[in-house]
Amino acid sequence: MDRRRVLSTILATTTSLSSVFYFSPSRADALVKGVAPPPKKSVGGAEKLKCTNVEECQDMAAIRDDLKAQEEAGGPPPLVTKGGVKYRDISVSSSPDDTNNSDKGEDGNTSNSNSISAQDGDDVSIYFKVLKLGKRSYDGLSGEGTVVFSRGYGLEDDEDKPAQKSFSTCIGSTSNIPALNEALVGMKLNGVRRFAILPQKGWERQTKACDGGPGGGGAGGDIRTDYVVVPTATIVQQEVCLDNTKLPFPSTYAQQRRMAQRFDQSLIMEVQLVSIDNKNKQIPTPTPLY
């Protein structure tokens, strides 16, 4: 009787122990109570703010643009040509090795080709972008705007890559828009310059009926960044003032349509001077900076 009781006790103990080991979690699956580890920090200790919805993302983008505009506003003010065109040199000259472009003059001294600047009457080639003003442009030059048309940056359908095509002209030619003739004077080889184009210095016909945009004799303000959508009939009427003989001018239909909606606004043109035929001296053509 005692033997049977002892065997039953051993059997019950063995069964309970096996059930405990079977149902107990492994060490890897066991729950550990405590404080979660802190999130990883980026290199340098700077943490990037993250937005959780569309409104927050838009607000953060606006704040970032405002800070960038304030930083640019703290820089040097834009320069002005004799004709009143505002400009800023983004890069005066960016030749990788000045000594490679140096020549000896008649006096035996070494003169650098980058010291040659474009002057009135020189034949030049440029890459350019005509831009709509950015929303937060505080001076008519700052901010990144929409590209209306370009040449040499590989942005258009007829360009497979940058530096494939360029625009060649003579500084001072009556075929050019006045702002371009003024802004090119004084530029160095491979220099990049951004300048403002008021309608009267751009593609607007010089007639009294058309002189009503920004900077003109009529109403319109000094700087106008955009227009509200207007009926097609009004656009057709405005196109009467578009002078398609002034260069550079868009070559494709899509570019021309964009230009027809923007020519009577304040625009920005960014040019890179890639060659100068100065005193019958031809300088090699560099590649675009960006």
Tell the residue number behind the tokens 């149902």, with chain if given: 23
CATH classification for the domain delimited by 77-101+112-282, as one of 3.10.50.40, 3.50.50.60, 3.40.50.300, 3.60.10.10: 3.10.50.40
Identify which of 286, 288, 275 has the alpha carbon closest to the alpha carbon of residue 153: 288
- Which pair of tokens denotes residue 240? 């009467």
Long-range contacts of 142-149 (CB under 8 A, 24+ apart): 142/69, 142/72, 142/73, 143/65, 143/69, 145/268, 148/250, 148/255, 148/258, 148/259, 148/262, 148/267, 149/248, 149/250, 149/255, 149/258, 149/259
The pLDDT tens digits of the residues spanning 97-112 come to 443 444 444 444 444 4
The pLDDT tens digits of the residues spanning 37-78 come to 776 666 555 556 677 888 888 778 777 766 766 666 556 788
- Please provide the average confidence, as pLDDT, over all residues in the chain: 74
pTM of the entire structure? Answer: 0.62
pLDDT at 22: 54
- Which pair of tokens denotes residue 88? 């800023």
Contact 169, 124 (CB under 8 A): yes
Contact 133, 223 (CB under 8 A): yes
Residue ranges of domains in the chain: 77-101+112-282
**pLDDT score of 193 more than 50:** yes
